[in-house]
Amino acid sequence: MFGKLKEKLSSFVDKVAQTEISEKDVENALWDLELELLEADVALEVVDELKEKIKQKLVGQKVKIGTNKREIVEKAVKEAVLEVLTHERHIDLLEMIKSKKEKPFVIVFVGFNGSGKTTTIAKLANWLKKNGLSVVIAASDTFRAGAIEQVEEHAKRVGVKLIKHGYKSDPAAVAYDAIEHAKARGIDVVLVDTAGRNELNRNLMDEMKKIVRVTKPDLVIFVGDALAGNAIIEQARQFNEAVRIDGVILTKLDADARGGAALSIAHAIGAPILFVGVGQGYDDLMPFDEKWMLEKIFGE
């Protein structure tokens, strides 16, 4: 008999005891977040996307009075960041290499000077070896003085063969030779080191296009220095226009306190992060893990 009344009363209590998160509440909170993200080197377009996602998750959500709104907002922010970090295209490198019918699997590395390309190639060679694959490196940076000796030293230390010509020789020819060498000996992977370059250097950009044309790589990987912050988004875009980038390796994440580059780059050029460099040793290369990155961003 009192059932109906009870129901009405309890729904009234629920209504009074809970508030709805309004667009205005969220807007105010997002304003602070926006500044923080921009300061942490997150690209503007990524900030906008994050804000939109957070708004969608929160506006209209009903919360019981007395519950900690901060926790709810924090959860929404983390979910949104994880969504931005999670790229729709996931590359399982080992799987990709193993499933290629004809050896070798060819990877060309591109990036600005000093981004950590050569060190990263050595780290990756080390990682591939540990995973049971054979590797040869092509010393296709025939431009910068000392580059050949540098990559040679790395190759020696990680115990992989290096194919080299002299300075000023055609880098595409070096890469081609490395591929022929791998074919003849059944080597699984060819890693091509290229000269660091920027868009302003037209000759080097054209040369890089030629390396890609000649080697027809399975992957072109952009190596970016996380310390460069927002600037690497622009660098990656320039390379992506010249030769399509399939994946990214972010270096020096051990020294980057902000992490904004990681949040922006995959999104900005539409290619996933494959690995991150977390130190100068050969083992300091980690397959990229979104959850790890999320921890790093919200850790403290």
User: With respect to ligand GTP, which residue has the nearer C-beta, 28 or 113?
Assistant: 113
Q: Contact between 118 and ligand GTP (CB under 6 A)?
A: yes
Residue in 117, 215, 247, 261 binding ligand GTP, rule: CB under 6 A:
117
Residue in 142, 215, 251, 264 binding ligand GTP, rule: CB under 6 A:
251
Q: Contact between 142 and ligand GTP (CB under 6 A)?
A: no
Q: Contact between 141 and ligand GTP (CB under 6 A)?
A: yes
Instruction: Work out the burial of residue 172: count CB atoms within 10 Å of its CB; fewer than 13 is exposed, 13-18 middle, 19 or more buried.
Output: buried
CB of 249 to ligand GTP, least distance (A): 9
User: With respect to ligand GTP, which residue has the nearer C-beta, 106 or 147?
Assistant: 147
Cβ(30)–Cβ(51) under 8 Å?
Answer: yes
CB of 162 to ligand GTP, least distance (A): 14
CA distance 100 to 218: 9
CA distance 225 to 240: 16
CB of 255 to ligand GTP, least distance (A): 5
Residue in 69, 144, 181, 258 binding ligand GTP, rule: CB under 6 A:
144
The dihedral built from the CA positions of residue 268, 274, 277 and 278, taken in this order, carries a sign that is positive
Q: Contact between 196 and ligand GTP (CB under 6 A)?
A: yes
Q: Contact between 235 and ligand GTP (CB under 6 A)?
A: no
Cβ(196)–Cβ(229) under 8 Å?
Answer: no
Q: Is 192 helix (H, G, I), strand (E, B) or coil?
A: strand
Helices (H), 40-168: 44-58, 69-85, 93-99, 117-130, 147-158
For the annotated binding site for GTP, the residues are 111-118, 193-197, 251-254
For the annotated binding site, the residues are 111-118, 193-197, 251-254
